[in-house]
Every structure is written in C-alpha cells, then in structure tokens.
Amino acid sequence: MRIETDKDLCCGAGTCVLAAPAVFDQNDEDGTVILLDAAPGAEQRAAVMEAAERCPTAAIRIV
Amino acid sequence: MTQSRESENRSARPFPTARPSGCPFDPPAPFAEAREECPVTPLRYPDGHLGRLVTGLQSARAVLGDVRFSSLPAGKRSPVKVPGSELSTDALPAGMFVNMDPPEHTRYRRLLSKHFTLRRVRELRPRIQEMTDRLLDNTESSGGPVDLVEAFAKPLPMLVTSELLGLPEEDRAPFGHHVDVLFSLSSSGEEMQQSMVLLAGMLHALINAARKEPGPDILGRLTVETELTDEELLGITTVLLIAGLETTTHMLALGTYALLRHPEQLAALRADWSLMDDAVEELLRYLSVVQIGPIRVAAEDFEFEGQSIRKGEVVTVSLPAANRDPQGFEDPDTFDIRRGTTRHVAFGSGPHQCMGHHLARLELSIGYESLLRRFPRLELAVPAQDIGTREMMVTYGVPKLPVRW
C-alpha cells in the first residue's frame, strides 16, 4: 500500500491523525497533514482506509 | 433522475422541522420520505425560491466537498424562518471565514488550524477536567434538582471558550447573556441586533487588550503571530463563539437526556467507561444537533448526481437526515453506543468541516463521563413529556433539563 496526500486540499482537520496516528501527523504551524509513513505495512491498512474515507476534503489517496 | 423544472416545482417540499411526536431524538419524518425518493430533492424556501434538499450521506459529503456549491453569502437563504435569519448579512465583518470559498477561506483556516490540532487539544485535557469538576462541585452542593442546561451544559463550553480567547472573568456573565439572546427562541430581531452590537463592542475591547498585552491564548497569539486586522479578528472570534458554544451546550444536554431515556445503554456505559469514545461518536451521529444547514449556493450551472443544478440555486444539507441514511448505517434509527462508526457528518464535511471537532469531542467525553460518575443515580426530575425541544432553532436541543440524583 502506498499513500499520497494533497497539501493544497488538506483543511487541517486532523481526522487522519485520530484514525491512523502511526501514519499521519499534523503540522504544528498550520495543522496540515504530515505523512509519517508513505508505505505502511498491512497492519495499518484498516486504519489508513478509515483515515482516507473520513478525510473531509478527500486529500488522502491510496495508490 | 432528471426531472423537468415544472415537475420539480410541483414536487418541492417545504423544509420540515416538526419532530415525530414522542420521539424527540428522531429527525422530522419527511426527511426519510425525501431520501427514499432521491438523496437530493426539490426544496421550497419560505420566499418561494426553488432549491434543493440533501438527505443522503454520500450526497451530503459530495455537496459539502464540492466548491461549486459556494459558501459566499450572496443569494443564501435559510430554508426556514428562524430567529435572526432575517438579519442582514451585508455588514458581516471581514474574517467570517464560514462565509468564504477557497482560496480566501483556506488562508484563514491555515492561520487558525494550528490552535485546534489533535496535539494542542489533548494538552487542554487537564484544564477542561478541572473546570468540569468545579462546575460539578457547585451543582452537587446545590443539592438539586437543577436545570442541567444552566448548571452545566452552558457554563462548560463558555469556560473553555473564555479561556481560549482570554476573556477576563468579569466579562463572562454579560458575554454569556448576549450569546444567550442571540440563540434564544424568545428574542426579538431588535434584541438580537442590539446584542450583536454589544457583543461586537466587547470583542473589540478584547482585541485591543490582546494587542497591548498579548496573552498565551489564541487571540493573544493571533495578534503576535499574524498580520490579521482588528476587523478580521472580530470576524474570527465571532465565528469561534458561534461555532463553539451553542453546539457543545446542546450536545451535552441533549446527549445526557438521550442516555437517560436509553437506560440499558447508559448501564452499559457505566459498566465499561472504555465505551465512552464510541458513545460520543454515536451521540454525535444519533442527535446531529445542527439541524438547519449547512447551506450552499450553486456558483454555476452544472450536472450533479444526474441532476441539472442551476446557478443561484440554494442547497440545504440536512445533517440529521444524512446521519440516519440506511445506505450509510445499519439500522440507522437505533441508538447503539457500541456501533463503533465514525463515518457520520455531525461536524459537516469538506473544507468547512468543523475546525473544533477534536475540542468538541474532548469536552463531550469529559463532560458526560464526569457528570455520570459524579451522580450514579442521575435521573429526570420531571416526566419526560414535560421536556421541551428546540425545533425552530439552527441548533436542536432541550431548552431545560431538570435532573436530580
């Protein structure tokens, strides 16, 4: 699984950090997404799917 | 499905507000009928305007995430006449980012988001717990019964917001009064206008004070770290107030009421506090207190989910309806704190999704748990049929919740 995030779309809601804290973080300056792990293991799959689905601006893509 | 303009005109419904009798937690019944027809249906506005109503979960997310459905105030109108909806929006202060589209909206949002990140909000936990415990001390020592709205659900978000904005202790009572007037069913347009002016005056004074002596609160930091003008800061603080107080207050009170009316769910929660986070999500979904809007205006003609949207059409999303969509939730009308789903849109969706959602979740989980732990025998102090509801308000809830313990 590989993840891409779109910083321009990101509104800094931080929903992804709630869903998958091992994969996503928030920038302290503007709240936007920081991708901690662009290719996480299978054990993160469910959490990452939830983060992508819940992202209010669809700024997370699983490729 | 594409309908002709005439048939849309004929089938357009008014926006329903009446809750089914005896079911204060269920959305008005016509929403489900509309959703069964189509997740986006024609809607008649009070002035005759023909617009649309969104009742499906996926459609709600799609509309709120699509910038062709604009948040700009021009042409926007409320689907029902609620107190204050006739007030002019022409003179809105700069910085009211809820009424903006990207990229202007994005600029404000980026400046503010840093104060509402999950990390920042979690740092507030001990302070919020302290405020909650103090309020409950006062409530307990009164002996009861008390109106939980006045004793707990109003003051808690007020204390938290005051601290975030650096509002001095002595200003909190008049501040709370003006906010009450703005959100009360019984206020006249004139009273609201007056409270709006007085509130703006208080916020201006607060901004001046923050410029002279910036504190560690959000307002203090915004004066130091950004180039925002006084006018912009006024708009921002107004938005934070409107967004942060009323919604949290009614979630706290209505949520407590919902738990008291579902004793088997309440017992399960009391038996296992680790269910608290799931319970908060389910209360957010099941109650969806923002009952009128979000409202958008089509910025151009375009096709959306097979329908021809015309420029200027006003689109109202019903969050309570979307959160009861059987396509999104199994057995959606059942209140189940073990549901474990977070896919609801209680905080909206898209770039305008509530910025304070982490804070709201924290206030709710600390609020419910502390209240229920403090009063193991909490119960209504009046028969359930005597508890009123706020149907004609943007935020649903109970005006009073008399309880004893």
Q: Output the tens digit of pLDDT for each of chain B's 405 residues.
A: 456 788 888 889 999 999 998 899 999 999 999 999 999 999 999 999 999 999 999 999 999 999 999 999 889 999 998 766 665 555 566 778 888 998 889 989 999 999 999 999 999 999 999 999 999 999 999 998 999 999 999 999 999 999 999 988 888 888 888 888 887 767 888 888 898 899 899 999 999 999 999 999 999 999 999 999 999 999 899 888 878 898 999 999 999 999 999 999 999 999 999 999 999 999 999 999 999 989 999 999 999 999 999 999 999 999 999 999 999 999 999 999 999 888 899 999 999 999 999 999 999 999 999 999 999 999 999 999 999 999 888 889 999 999 999
User: Would you say residue A53 has pLDDT above 80?
Assistant: yes
Other Cβ atoms within 10 Å of B229 Cβ, number: 13
Its CATH architecture, for the domain B5-404, is Orthogonal Bundle (1.10)
For tokens 């779309």, name the residue. A9
CB contact (8 A) between residue A31 and residue B357: no
Instruction: Compute the average pLDDT of residues A18-46.
Output: 94
Would you state the structure tokens that stand for residue B146, as one six-digit string?
């008390």
* Beta carbons within 8 Å of A52's beta carbon, 6+ residues apart: A3, A16, A58, A60, A61, A62
Other Cβ atoms within 10 Å of B170 Cβ, number: 8
Closest CA to B99 of B295, B261, B314: B295
Instruction: Round to whole Å and give the CA distance between B69 and B349.
Output: 13
DSSP state of B15: P
Q: Closest chain A residue to B343 measured between Cα atoms?
A: A54
B66 min Cα distance to partner chain A (Å): 9
CATH code assigned at A8: 3.30.70.20
Best mutation target among B66, B100, B118, B352 (most A Cβ atoms within 10 Å) is B118
Per-residue model confidence (pLDDT) at position B186: 75
Nearest by CB to residue A12, choosing from B64, B113, B349, is B113
Exposure b/e, B80-89, CB count within 10 A at least 16 = b? bebbbeeeee
pTM for the full model?
A: 0.94
A59 min Cα distance to partner chain B (Å): 10
Widest Cα–Cα separation across chain A: 31
Per-residue model confidence (pLDDT) at position B84: 65
What type of residue is B317? V
CB contact (8 A) between residue B117 and residue A31: yes
Burial class (CB in 10 A: 0-12, 13-18, 19+), B374: middle
* Interface predicted TM-score of the whole assembly (ipTM), two decimals: 0.93
Domain ranges, residue A28: 3-62
User: Would you say residue A35 has pLDDT above 60?
Assistant: yes
Domain layout of chain B by residue ranges: 5-404
Number of residues in chain A = 63
CB contact (8 A) between residue A30 and residue B353: no
Q: How many domains does chain A have?
A: 1
Nearest by CB to residue B353, choosing from A11, A18, A26, is A11
From residue A62, alpha-carbon distances to A5, A51, A58, B8 in Å are 9, 10, 11, 39
Per-residue model confidence (pLDDT) at position B173: 86
- Given CB atoms, is B294 within the 8 Å cutoff of chain A? no
Nearest by CB to residue A11, choosing from B118, B342, B351, is B351
